[in-house]
Amino acid sequence: MRFSKIVAVGGYLPPKTVGNTELEKDAGIDKDWIFERTGILKRHIAEESATEMGIKALKDALSRSNLSSNEIEYIFVVSNSADTLIPGMAGRIQKSIGHPVGGVDIQAGCSGFIQTMEIADSMIRSGSFSNVAIIGTEKLSRIVNWKDLSIAALFGDGAGAVIMSSSEKPGLIASYSRIQEEGWESLIQNRNDYLEMDGKAVFRFAVSAIEEAIKEVLKRSSMKIEDVDLIVPHQSNARIISRVSKNMGIPIGKFQISIADHANTAAASVALALKDAVDSKKIGKSATVLTVAYGAGLGLASNILKL
């Protein structure tokens, strides 16, 4: 039987950072308030495009795999801050691979990366493809109003990537996702405008969404939380993760928390946090990982996978 498996995780964070002290000086947001309310200490700000960051993340993932770029057969580019509305970024990222491949852009909020992993899994299981790259890349600094005190401190730029390949053993074990119309206006960017967010409404949805997604994917996998080595959640707000931990009785140490150094990188968030966990040796080969996210739409998604 044919399955899919993550064979490499890569990422890229721009070298320029803006710390809370700088944000306090420039935007008048109290630096201590930022950390206490979000867990964020700094955010990366890109001078390059989202496309260029995506290429760097993909190259990093390839360097960590046993694959050459010639073996990649399909690419997904997941983003909420694409460089252009038309065309998407997949074609420009394809150029770095050096040969013709299939590819498409996906915009599905911050949970889009996890949803795309489920799609890639199906493509590989079907036998149509053997090696699929998923790139989440965000230049959110371009769509954030830095004078909006409710949102300016929350977001950062960056890109993450995974390569999924065919496997004889299950890698992606179970998935769950759901979208809803209710509450869509609480997290929105109108055309030619800045990103807007009703923080309280999003917080309430986020906690319930993450709890739902964890419970449902565990049910689909016939696993218990004790069977999971690490939960890699969307890195939006440390208080959300803490609330989920408390509500569900899951030790906070079971969650990967990278938000202090990354801020919220939307569709790149889960891949970058997964890379941090691998690089720090918090998890290794054969680890069982639960990824979970919520995002604009409103949507939520989760996966259970074995590395």
Known catalytic residues are: 110, 234, 264
Q: Please state, in angstroms and rounded to a whole number, the distance separating the CA atoms of residues 114 and 207.
A: 17
* Cross-strand partners of 301: 177, 293
d(CA 25, CA 47): 21
Dist. CA 96–CA 173, nearest whole Å: 31
* Residue type (1 letter), 86: I
Helices of type H across the chain = 20-27, 31-38, 50-63, 90-97, 112-125, 199-221, 238-248, 259-262, 269-279
Tokens of 20: 């809370």
Cross-strand bridge partners of residue 17: 44
In angstroms, rounded to a whole number, what is the distance separating the alpha carbons of residues 241 and 257?
8
Both structure tokens of 175: 């998935």
